[in-house]
A and B are shown apart, each in its own frame.
Chain A
Amino acid sequence: MASPDPNSTNYAYDSKIEGNVTFTQLDAAINWMRKNSLWPMPMGLACCAIELMATASSRYDISRFGAEVMRFSPRQADVMIVAGTVTYKMALAVKRIWDQMPEPKWCIAMGACASSGGMYRSYATLQGIDKLIPVDVYISGCPPRPEALIEGLMKLQDKIDKEESTMDLKRMPEPEQV
């Protein structure tokens, strides 16, 4: 099926049978379930992790977007939030944790360091986590404010909403050997 038009709804709504039956497309249903229950893997590596914690706490409350279940086990996580400077010493550990996350999975590069190495143009720092793992959303800032992270999360939700989940299931790559 074609990507849904953002202005149209993906479900048929009938007020006479409200609460009982909803017609929708399989992709739309799967995406709707996925995007509203993103379990993050908080890859807190530097000061961005403080903002990540602030985003999860009461003032900004990331649970309004269904992403409050921080999982410290990669096997239960959907989205890895790389928050902070990825040093070369840490890089392969991040990759290893990413490889342990089950499909489908997404990655948010939070802040300048995770996106591009930031101000650390040196021998010690990986110049962006996208050198190792595929990144879905980049968030600018040093560190980004919680609003920016929430904006990034909403962008990711929009992206998930447009995925062709049933087709993706068919062309799922073989799991990489870790």
Chain B
Amino acid sequence: MSPFVTKLESAFGEKILGKKEFRGEHTVLVELSALHDVMLHCKEQLGFDFLLDICSVDHESVHPRFEMVYELASVDDSQHLRVKAPVAEDEDVQSVVDIWKTADWHEREVYDMMGIKFTDHPNLKRILMWEGYPYHPLRKEFPLAGKPTEMPDVAFTGVAPMEGGPFVTSSTATDTVAREPRAKGES
């Protein structure tokens, strides 16, 4: 087990909900209320001076529905740690912009695509879609083809023809022809 996970466990005890190792990558699951403290601890005590990425997962039918994922790294000795925290639909997440400035745009993207709100964020507005776009397109219930919207001065969207799609590859297929992306049920 990674020494960082052990140190986090001794520092936060019950707030650590779980830990996992997969192919040398360490993941800790922490309680949302302790997330900001854990992140601060990771930077100040454990030396994770670089926030690689922030992403979010929509588990749809599971409660709590969402999950925040933070990828931490240290530049000098190439350490990596993944921190996850479950987020319910009505919960806000404490922003980590005050710890790593790079979190600014990552959190805006999470807000734009998934609709998770961040408290104490300096400028929480959409980053990819335009202001006034009514949906969060990476949520599971949002159709891949999109929904029509109309803001004549800014932008509009339509519904893409799916033609039997979405088109997916079958990675276990034997040859490259069989691995071509196809609609399900189409040979």
Contact = CB atoms under 8 A, between A and B. Distances in A.
A159 interface: no
Contacts of B130: 89
Contacts of B137: 123-124
Interface in A79-120: 88-89, 91-92, 117, 120
B156 A88 contact: yes
A127 B142 contact: no
Given A89-B129, A89-B130, A121 B160 contact: yes
B7 interface: no
Given A121-B165, A123-B137, A91 B145 contact: no
Interface in A113-163: 117, 120-127, 131
Interface of B is mostly: loop
Given A121-B161, A121-B165, A123-B142, A92 B156 contact: yes
A124 B155 contact: no
Interface of A is mostly: loop
A123 B147 contact: yes
Contacts of B154: 92
B79 interface: no
A120 B144 CA distance: 10
Interface of B: 128-130, 135, 137, 142-147, 154-158, 160-163, 165-167
Given A124-B137, A125-B160, A91 B146 contact: no
B144 A123 contact: yes
A127 B155 contact: no
Contacts of B160: 117, 120-123, 125, 127
Q: Which 10 A-B pairs have the closest CB atoms?
A: A123-B146, A121-B160, A88-B157, A123-B137, A88-B155, A89-B155, A127-B160, A122-B144, A92-B155, A122-B160
Given A88-B155, A124-B146, 13 more contacts: A89-B129, A89-B155, A91-B156, A92-B155, A92-B156, A120-B160, A121-B144, A121-B145, A121-B166, A122-B146, A122-B160, A123-B137, A127-B160
Contacts of A121: 144-145, 160-163, 165-167
